[in-house]
Chains A and B, each alone.
Chain A
């Protein structure tokens, strides 16, 4: 067994500082990461409007959430412009396509639980994790914008969480199925973006754990037991 003594040197190491925001490698990676964020906010807007069609009595609140996402999108577009980077939107649209297709299929079938799981839990938890990890390594301009955004994203996660909690027993089976189908996509999305994220000093391991913490917290609030949750979360860790 390793002991602390034998790893003392490792423990005392401090992580490296901020990346070089002006390097070509950074900008190249940023063109994809920034695009993902912009596209993610745009799709979040569209998804909340769409969920409003399934929950007409909530449409007003959902429209309010959707407007916040558009504001975020504009903020992140400014972050790219600030670094002189043009976002690779084609990459981003393709990146989101598995979740988008699943969301659209669920929408067409009127499956509001699946729609909420994809948008309000998975995508929001993904965003919260990524923004938290990005903030300490972001350029000062993007840092300020992202700090503002992350607070809003908790509101969105909370929205989905509260609705599903209120309808837990009726939603349970569909949530488990939607988790099984969609969580591996999140895992693959994280894998795909890992190299670019590393260029921004964001590590895949941190992203996965932070995503799961936010997601598990939501599942706990909704009413799942810790045993259920550990099992559901495993789909993001393996595959």
Chain B
């Protein structure tokens, strides 16, 4: 069985979801009430692969909302309790979705293996980052040419280059895709130097200098609210892959010739009979689109490869990306492409849908 550990994108949307699902007490509750509410296994579903293999899954709402990030003990408790519930529910592979994997990493929850009477078995969990990294690379490779960008001659900036997903994307783009130039952007200098040394290529630049030079920008860092992008200085065309969480690049980089693609999102070949996931996720086609990290849990279950496949920081190898990529295609996933994004940005801008 596979599991998806997720959360609503905001407290307002969480309350709205509770209202729609028929939990009026939760819809009316304040943030303190939600902070004390335990995780819930809210939905079970079954999924059939292109190969015909059928697996069972469950969605666990951690009852975390991003507004709780400022309450670090609460955030930590939410993630650990959701993981405990997943394990106790007998789920073999659970993906840590949204902020939950970021909290796990940043708060070093590896130290917190004991949750009450339960010893968490790490092999039951994955961050899903290997699949996310592979999908983002595929999105770059498939969509840049559609905009007339020849990757062999292109400059690609990776923002958040030293992170778990960012460093894997840099490896892939430099060794597999073969882009002309890689611009490495991140906050801390030393990890950037280490990354550059391990890649044997790449130019380290501050964000404001990298953006105007890039034909493609892969964004795999969470973006501060205060950040603004000077779209006038961007190259046109420019492909921006928004692989961070939350996805808010489309509102910051909206301009003619700038194409923002929701990064790390995949589409399944057929509809999945889930209701809560469809309501909770902010997807253009919620019955079949999902975060690639969620899909990784499915893939591990389809393949009966029950290990903590993506785990820790900067452990993603090209071989692992190859493996998960092949599994992804075999079982019926494909990376969301630019067509969907054009469609999305049109609807966001209030223009007629096509």
Contacts and interface: CB of A to CB of B under 8 A. Distances in A.
Interface residues of A, number: 37
Nearest to B33: A237
A3 B66 CA distance: 7
B117 interface: yes
Interface in B62-83: 66-67, 69-75, 77, 81
A237 B29 contact: yes
13 contacts: A1-B66, A2-B70, A3-B69, A5-B224, A11-B106, A12-B106, A150-B117, A203-B73, A213-B84, A230-B26, A238-B25, A238-B29, A238-B33
B66 A230 contact: no
Contact of B70 (A7, A203, A205, A231): A7
B53 interface: no
B9 interface: yes
Main secondary structure of the interface of A (DSSP, over half): helix
Contacts of B33: 237-238
B172 interface: no
Interface in A1-50: 1-8, 10-13, 15
A11 B103 CA distance: 8
Contact of A234 (B25, B116, B117): B25
Interface of A: 1-8, 10-13, 15, 128, 132, 150-151, 154, 203-206, 208-210, 212-213, 216-217, 226-227, 230-231, 233-234, 237-238
A68 B269 CA distance: 57
Interface stretch (B36-44, B173-181, B312-320, B340-348): B36-44
Given A5-B224, A212-B36, 5 more contacts: A1-B9, A2-B225, A10-B70, A11-B107, A237-B26
B75 A11 contact: yes
A205 B32 contact: yes
Interface of B: 9-10, 22-23, 25-26, 28-29, 32-33, 35-38, 40-42, 66-67, 69-75, 77, 81, 84-85, 88, 99, 102-103, 106-107, 116-117, 221-226, 246, 248
A132 B116 contact: yes
Contacts of B72: 7, 10-11, 13
A8 B36 contact: no
Nearest to A7: B69
Contacts of A151: 117
A230 B43 CA distance: 13
A104 to B, nearest CB: 29
A128 to B, nearest CB: 8
Contacts of B248: 1
A238 B41 CA distance: 21
Contact of A209 (B38, B71, B102, B223): B38
A227 B225 CA distance: 36
B225 A3 contact: yes
Contact of B77 (A2, A209, A238): A209
B69 A237 contact: no
Given A7-B69, A231-B25, A237-B29, A1 B10 contact: yes
B62 to A, nearest CB: 11
Nearest to B244: A3
B106 A234 contact: no
Contact of B246 (A3, A11, A231): A3
A212 B85 CA distance: 12
B23 A217 contact: no
Contacts of A5: 221-224
Contacts of B225: 1-3, 6
A224 B35 CA distance: 23
A13 B107 CA distance: 9
B14 to A, nearest CB: 12
Contacts of B85: 213
A3 B23 contact: no
A7 to B, nearest CB: 4
A218 to B, nearest CB: 12
A230 B73 contact: no
A234 B23 contact: yes
A154 B35 contact: no
A139 B9 CA distance: 40
Contacts of B84: 213
A195 to B, nearest CB: 16
B73 A226 contact: no
A1 B252 CA distance: 14
